[in-house]
Amino acid sequence: MGKVTVKTKREIDLMRESCRIVAEVLTLIGSRLQPGVSLQDLDQLAEDWIRSRGSEPAFKGYGHDKKNLFPSTLCISVDDEVVHGIPDARVLRGGQVVSIDVGVRREGYYGDGARTFAVGGTSEENARLLKVTEEALYKGIEQARAGRHLHDVSHAVQRHVEAAGFSVVRDLVGHGIGRNLHEEPAVPNFGTPGTGMILREGMTLAIEPMVNAGISQVRVSDDGWTVRTADGKPSAHFEHTVVIRENGAEILTQDVQ
């Protein structure tokens, strides 16, 4: 495991700016999700907004395989796509569930956040999946305070999801964030309470439940990026970047009203 960094007040203030733009983008794109809108148009809208705010899309050009870097500003994952969906010429249809994940780099510091939306109304079961996943995010955040164990966060997410009859994805995790988009520690969405590192004031984490309606297993599509549920059932994804504090986590990517 690499080094886990505790951020200074100045670093957190810089992250707060990038995270504010993340929240703005999620609100903006959420307001445009309707049948007939193309994923590419949503992606371009997000990139234009981020650059207009003097910032850079964090995901565009990201990756370890130089021959297959991520090509877009947003990850847009539809229905059985869990995460890392590539925006293309597809148009949205009513009833779909759509996860929007966005990262922003500003003055050398990153913010990361995600929300899942229903397009033009959806089934009762899909609506419940979204509700439970968002609730699980906040259950995890409630445990993210100085002196608690990392897996207290993980267990809170897992317990809430599984009690509702859904499953957490185990092959993908949340992460530390700051000068890099992905830093230590890994933040799984399952675990045993009282285990894992002790959380310290000033740590910054991206907590992100990825929850499947069916089984937890996933597979990667031929594009090398898009992660799908193995059974073809829908998935949901909610994420906040937070700072660990003594009296509870501070959410940096708080929704813009």
pLDDT digits (tens, 9 = 90+) for 146-174: 999 999 999 999 999 999 999 999 999 99
Contact assessment for residue 95 and residue 124, using Cβ atoms and an 8 Å cutoff? no
Helix (H, G, I), strand (E, B) or coil at 118: strand
In a domain, 109, yes or no: yes
pLDDT of residue 227: 98
Query: Residue 80 and residue 102: Cα distance in Å, rounded?
Result: 19
In a domain, 230, yes or no: yes
Q: C-alpha 100: how far from its chain's center? A: 8
In a domain, 100, yes or no: yes
In a domain, 256, yes or no: no
pLDDT of residue 120: 87
Mean pLDDT to the nearest integer, 53-77: 97
Query: Residue 249 and residue 243: Cα distance in Å, rounded?
Result: 5
In a domain, 62, yes or no: yes
Q: Please, what is the average pLDDT of the chain?
A: 97
Q: Identify the sign of the CA torsion 236, 242, 245, 250.
A: negative
In a domain, 3, yes or no: no
Write out the two tokens for 20: 């504010």
For residue 150, the domain's CATH number is: 3.90.230.10
Mean pLDDT to the nearest integer, 61-65: 94
Give how many domains the chain has, as a whole number: 1
In a domain, 82, yes or no: yes
Q: Domain span at residue 22?
A: 9-251
Cα–Cα distances in angstroms (integers) from residue 62 to residues 76, 161, 170, 191, in the given order: 15, 30, 22, 29
Spatial CB neighbours of 168, under 8 Å, sequence gap ≥ 6: 136, 157, 158, 161, 162, 189, 190, 209, 210, 211, 212, 216
Q: Report the helix count and the strand count for the chain, using DSSP H and E.
A: 4, 15
Mean pLDDT to the nearest integer, 214-238: 98
Band of residue 257 on the pLDDT scale cut at 50, 70, 90: low
pLDDT of residue 256: 65
DSSP 214: S
pLDDT of residue 255: 78
In a domain, 1, yes or no: no
Is the confidence at residue 145, as pLDDT, over 70? yes
Band of residue 3 on the pLDDT scale cut at 50, 70, 90: confident
- pTM for this prediction: 0.96
Instruction: Give CA angle at 74 (208, 191), nearest 5°.
Output: 15
Mean pLDDT to the nearest integer, 98-106: 98
Q: What is the pLDDT of residues 117-129, one digit of tens each?
A: 999 888 999 999 9
